[in-house]
């Protein structure tokens, strides 16, 4: 065999090997590489999208938290305002009740005072009548009159 024939045989074999590889082996390898490249690209895109979603979610969470804090501050403020209002209402009501009780006590005192005056008037008039009766029963004498009046004064006082 000559070197030329071996070389031509090897070239034909190599060409057949290249053709076979290009026709049957290379396309599945290229397809697998392309598929892997696509999956990696999709994974990277999904990771970037996920990070963007995380940033957006963090921003949203911060805004929701801030809003919740503002609402809670408003609620606390409103509750304090209402509590102060209730305290003021209770004070006003207690003041009115105290004034009403004071007025009722004054009216009761006035009533009792009027009753005592009336009772005293009746008693004084009754004593005056008894003294007058005793004066008229006895004979008219200055000393006796004076004695009866002083006895009536002692009874009064």
Q: Which residues contact 127 (CB under 8 A, 6 or more apart)?
A: 152, 155, 156
User: Residue 2: its pLDDT value, please?
Assistant: 65
Q: Split the chain (157 residues) into runs of 10 and give each run's mean pLDDT.
A: 80 95 93 96 94 94 94 93 93 92 92 89 81 70 75 76
Cα–Cα dist 91/110, whole Å:
28
User: Residue 154: its pLDDT value, please?
Assistant: 79
Cα–Cα dist 36/114, whole Å:
113
Q: Which residues contact 156 (CB under 8 A, 6 or more apart)?
A: 124, 127
User: Residue 81: its pLDDT value, please?
Assistant: 93
pTM over the 0.85 mark: no
């Amino acid at each position: 065999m000559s070197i030329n024939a071996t070389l031509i045989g090897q070239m034909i074999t190599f060409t057949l090997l290249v053709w076979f590889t290009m026709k049957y082996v290379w396309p599945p390898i290229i397809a697998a590489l392309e598929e892997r490249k696509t999956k990696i690209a999709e994974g990277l895109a999904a990771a970037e999208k996920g990070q963007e979603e995380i940033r957006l979610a963090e921003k949203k969470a911060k805004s929701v938290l801030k809003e919740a804090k503002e609402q809670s501050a408003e609620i606390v403020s409103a509750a304090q305002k209402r509590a102060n209002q209730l305290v003021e209402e209770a004070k006003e009501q207690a003041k009115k009740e105290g004034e009403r009780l004071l007025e009722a006590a004054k009216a009761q005192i006035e009533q009792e005072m009027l009753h005592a005056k009336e009772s005293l008037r009746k008693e004084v008039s009754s004593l005056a009548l008894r003294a007058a009766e005793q004066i008229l029963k006895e004979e008219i004498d200055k000393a006796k009159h004076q004695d009866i009046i002083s006895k009536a004064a002692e009874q009064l006082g």
